[in-house]
């Protein structure tokens, strides 16, 4: 168990809908990262938050947004969902901004039908 | 841009050594990582190596880094059936961040 908790584990929704994925980082970790794992693109970095502020942005679509709350949990919001958004979404956390290690959660598997 | 390449499949017999290879393109990477993903599970960090090191050993795992050729390998000694998983090589391209570029993963199958 990495200590990073993601909910829900599975999510099935229809095209055009909006969903929210939640991540609780390890106790004491200030940074949260979101990654997407899909069959065609592999694992891609989406976005990083550090202590509530956006720190780095990767290949995140404009239809997607994220935030980190004062209690350090983070949410990834996906809207106007398309079939191609079906993927495994991982959250990771680390103590600081650029540590040698980050710990991944179990992921949320999103299926868009 | 950054790119990490791995072979997709590797099959070994139980008890043999496994060697998973990876090439990367970003010479400014400071750390390179190996992650393991078992079916239905998250990503487990196995080990990492700093870019100024040539080798790192951790129990059954040996990481070799050839910075000149941008080649990274993971050797698993005495491979067990529990080692069957997908192994991802990753490089950290983000300064002051943990922005990883992952390879597509190598599926290791261990034959009893």
At B66-78, the pLDDT tens digits run 999 999 999 999 9
A28-32, A34-38, B15-19, B25-29, range with the lowest pLDDT: B25-29
In angstroms, how far is CA A89 from the centroid of its own chain?
6
Å between B50 CA and nearest CA of chain A: 9
Could A42 and B48 be called an inter-chain contact, meaning their C-beta atoms sit closer than 8 Å? no
CA nearest to A55 within chain B = B97
Nearest chain B residue to A105, by CA: B42
> Chain B residues with CB inside 8 Å of A94's CB?
98
d(CA B8, CA B23) in angstroms, rounded, equals: 13
- Whether the pLDDT of residue B3 is over 90: the answer is no
**Between B1 and A92, residue with greater pLDDT:** A92
Rounded distance between C-alpha atoms, residue A56 and residue B39, angstroms: 29
The pLDDT of residue B28 is 75
Q: What's chain B's average pLDDT? A: 90
Q: Note the pLDDT of residue A59.
A: 85
Averages of pLDDT over each 10 residues, chain A, 113 residues: 93 98 96 93 92 92 97 98 97 82 92 97
A106-109 contacts at long range (C-beta below 8 A, 24 or more positions apart): A106/A6, A106/A9, A106/B41, A106/B42, A107/A6, A107/A9, A107/A37, A107/B42, A108/A6, A108/A7, A108/A8, A108/A9, A108/A10, A108/A11, A108/A21, A109/A9, A109/A10, A109/A11
pLDDT reading at B1 higher than 80: no
Chain A residues whose CB is inside 8 A of the B88 CB are: 43
Task: From B73, B36, B66, select the one nearest B51 (Cα to Cα).
Answer: B66
Question: Closest chain A residue to B2 measured between Cα atoms?
Answer: A44
């Amino acid at each position: 168990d990495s200590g990073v908790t993601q909910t829900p584990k599975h999510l099935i929704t229809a095209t055009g809908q909006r969903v929210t994925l939640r991540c609780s980082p390890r106790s004491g970790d200030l940074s949260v990262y979101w990654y997407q794992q899909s069959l065609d693109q592999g694992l891609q970095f989406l976005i990083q938050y550090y202590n509530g502020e956006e720190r780095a942005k990767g290949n995140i679509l404009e239809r997607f947004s994220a935030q980190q709350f004062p209690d350090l949990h983070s949410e990834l919001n996906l809207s106007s969902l398309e079939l191609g958004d079906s993927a495994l979404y991982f959250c990771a956390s680390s103590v600081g901004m650029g540590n040698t290690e980050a710990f991944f959660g179990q992921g949320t598997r999103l299926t868009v039908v | 841009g950054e790119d990490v390449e791995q072979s997709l499949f590797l099959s070994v017999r139980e008890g043999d050594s496994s060697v998973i290879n990876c090439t990367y393109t970003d010479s400014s990477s400071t750390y390179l990582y190996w992650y393991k993903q078992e079916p239905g599970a998250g990503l487990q960090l196995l080990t990492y190596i700093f870019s100024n090191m040539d080798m790192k050993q951790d129990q059954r795992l040996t990481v070799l880094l050839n910075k000149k050729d941008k080649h990274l390998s993971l050797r698993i000694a005495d491979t067990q059936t529990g080692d069957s998983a997908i192994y991802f090589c990753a490089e950290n391209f983000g300064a002051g961040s943990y922005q990883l570029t992952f390879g597509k993963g190598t599926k290791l199958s261990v034959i009893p």
